[in-house]
Amino acid sequence: MAGARPIGFGIFGLGVIAEFHAQAIAALQGARLVGVATRNPAKAQAFAAKHGGVFAGTTIEELVARPDLDVICITTSSGAHLEPALAAIRAGKHVVIEKPIEITTARVDEVLRAADAAGVRVAPIFQGRFGDGARKVKAAIDAGRLGRLVLASAYVKWHRTAQYYTGTRGQMAVDGGGALMAQAIHAVDLLQWFAGLPAEVFAWSTRRVHTAIEAEDTVSATLRFPDGALGVIEATTAPWPGWQRKLEICGEQGSIVLENDHIARWEFQTSAPGDDEIRATKLDAALGSGASRPDAISIVGHQRQLQDLVDALQAGRAPLLDGHEGRKAVALVRAVYDAAASGRVMKVG
C-alpha cells in the first residue's frame, strides 16, 4: 500500500459524526475520501456532493466492492456496527469504528476474531488518547512519577436536552446504554489506559431527568484495581449546564488532574525538567468538548487518530490504538451495568 496511491476511505452511515470523519479525512496526508453509503439515496448523494463528488451508495456491499477503497469508517449507531464491520472485513478492508466498537463484548469479539483471521486492522475511535495533555499524563504514569497509584477516577457530568433523546437515542438496542456507554466511554477508555482495567466494580444507575429513555442518565461506580488502588466513575447527562470531563490520577509521589485535554494539576514530590512549562500551559481547546453540545467537538482528535492509521498502513505497523485495546472500555462499561443491575460486585472481563 505504501507509495502506490493515497489510501482510500469510505464512510458507512451518515449521521452527525460522519461529517467529522469526512472533514478529518480531507485533512489527512496520504489519504482521500472515495465513497459514502447510507440507506437513504438522497442523503448519500447530498453528502457525496458536499465532499468532492465521491461515490454515493445505499449499501455496505456497494461500498466495499470498490477496488480503490482500503478503509471503511463505520459511523452507524453503536448497536449497528457489527454487520457492516463484518462485511467490510470479508471484503478485505480495514475498519475504523466510532466508539464503542459494539455494545457488548460478545459482539466486539466477533468483529475482532474476523479481523484477526482476515489480517485487517480495526481502529476504534477514542480520539482522547491523541491529545497532547493525555499523552503527557500517560508518559508520567508509565515513567513511575506518581509511584503507587492510590485513586484513579473519571467524572463526566454533561448536559443533554430532552430533544437530544428524541428518536432512537437512549434505546438499549441502539446505544447499548446511556450516559456511561454513549457519553462517558471516552473517559472510561482514558481511565483504563492510564491506570489499567479495574479488577472489580460496584455500581448504581438511574434515570433522574430523562425518564422517557430506556437507558440510564446517571451512573456512579466504585472501582478496585488489581494492585489495590481504588477509584470512581461518575457519568450523567442530566444536570445543567454541563462541566468539562475530568480525570484524577492520584499516587503516593504525585497527582494529576486532566480536564478535557488540559492538565489542570501537575504536582510531584520530585520535580523534573519541563514541569513548570506543563503547569504554565494555557487551556488547549484543540479537541473541543461535548459537555453541553455533542457537536461542539473538533475534527482534530479524529484527524490525529486517522493520520496514525494511515501512517501505520503505509509503514506496515500496527496503529497506536487497535481493536483489542478498544475492547477494554466496553468490558468495563458492561461490568458497571451488570453490577448496577444485579446489586453485586462484578469482575471486569
Q: Hey, what domains does the chain have and what are their CATH numbers?
A: 7-124 (3.40.50.720), 128-294+329-347 (3.30.360.10)
Beta-sheet strands, E only, within 108-242: 122-124, 149-157, 200-206, 218-224, 230-236
Integer Cα distance of 130 and 68 in angstroms: 28
C-alpha count within 13 angstroms, C-beta hemisphere, residue 276:
1
So what's the pLDDT on residue 138? 98
What is the end-to-end Cα distance of the chain in Å, rounded? Answer: 36
Nearest CA-CA partner of 225 in 233, 237, 215: 233
H or E stretch covering 313: helix 300-315
Integer Cα distance of 223 and 216 in angstroms: 19
So what's the pLDDT on residue 288? 73
So what's the pLDDT on residue 295? 76
- Give the list of residues 6+ apart from residue 42 with CB closer than 8 angstroms, or none: none
So what's the pLDDT on residue 297? 81
So what's the pLDDT on residue 282? 81
User: 18 is written with which cell numbers?
Assistant: 460522519
- Give the list of residues 6+ apart from residue 170 with CB closer than 8 angstroms, or none: 178, 210, 212, 213, 214, 215
Q: Is residue 203 within 8 Å of residue 216, measured between CB atoms?
A: no
So what's the pLDDT on residue 38? 98
So what's the pLDDT on residue 1? 47
One pLDDT digit (tens) per residue for the chain, 349 residues: 445 689 999 999 999 999 999 999 999 999 999 999 999 999 999 999 999 999 999 999 999 999 999 999 999 999 999 999 999 999 999 999 999 999 999 999 999 999 999 999 999 999 999 999 999 999 999 999 999 999 999 999 999 999 999 999 999 999 999 999 999 999 999 999 999 999 999 999 999 999 999 999 999 999 999 999 999 999 999 999 999 999 999 999 999 999 999 999 999 999 999 999 999 988 777 777 778 777 778 899 999 999 999 999 999 999 999 999 999 999 999 999 999 999 999 999 8
β-strand partners of 155 = 234, 246
